[in-house]
Amino acid sequence: MGFSDYRTVLVTGASSGIGAATIRRLCAEGLEVHALGRDHRRLARLSAETGCRLCALDLNDLAALTRLGGSAEFDVLVNSAGQSRRSNILDTAPDDVDALVDVNLRAVLHLTRLIVPGMAQRNRGHVVNISSIAGHYAFGENATTFNSSAAYHATKSGIHSLSQQLRIDLYGTCIRVTEVSPGRVATSIFQNQNAADNPDARFVGAFETLQSEDIAEAIAFAVGAPARMNVAMIEVVPTFQVIGELRFASRSDTTRLREMTSGADNA
């Protein structure tokens, strides 16, 4: 299919991070992109920059989502919005469970059921779900350093399962489903990374992380692929992150390794 076969895109989590980067990338392809987020001022700045259409609403507002789902024929749905919490199941607060399920899973399910039937009727469309390596792997004692929780892992695992089931439900149509599963990305989850009172600062500033633009490029690759090709799942992690773990080489280690490699190449 590629970009030329799609016209209208809906991206959630548009106020910042992966969502905003994805909007910039897809607007650059000439698509009409609708930016869904809660922060109207950020969305307005993004619209002035890219020409995207504003959809300032709360993902928990089902009536608003329903109206949005019927407002346009969306060819591409990018479920990018997500939240995280620091805790394990022994000390998880009930409000944290509700917030993570509401944003990370319930809203995705509602938008999917509202928008995908129209795609199926037109026999044209693409669903991109942003999950996480937390949906595939257990992180053990390092889980809190990743700023995640058991509830976060469970919701992202749900996104993985949803993506797989969607391909079954849409079998025989031209609708494609892509799951993008990132490792550590420098987004607002690690906000104020240099602040002295931020417990995650040492896990970002000292290590190489992915940028939101890296995930946007992965999304663009999948959406822009030819019709015969469905990029079902992309796992994107920093080069110096161990797959399925939270072990990273620090920036000092990566610099030393690169210097060693460069020296060997010049020998």
6 is catalytic: no
CA 64, CA 55: separation in Å to the nearest integer? 10
Pairing between strand 8-12 and 53-56? Answer: unpaired
Neighbours of 248 (CB within 10 A): 21
Amino acid in the structure at residue 1: M
Provide the token pair at 15. 């106020």
Catalytic annotation, pick one of 6, 137, 152, 171 = 152
Burial 160-180 (b: 16+ CB within 10 A, else e): bebbeebbeebeeebbbbbbb
For residue 85, CA distances in Å to 95, 99, 168 come to: 11, 9, 32
**CA–CA dist 98, 75 (Å, integer):** 30
Contact between 248 and 207 under an 8 Å Cβ cutoff? The reply is yes
Provide the 10 A C-beta neighbour count for residue 152: 27
Q: Which residue, 207, 227, 223, is CA-closest to 215? A: 223
Token output for 263:
């020296």
Annotated catalytic sites, by residue?
152
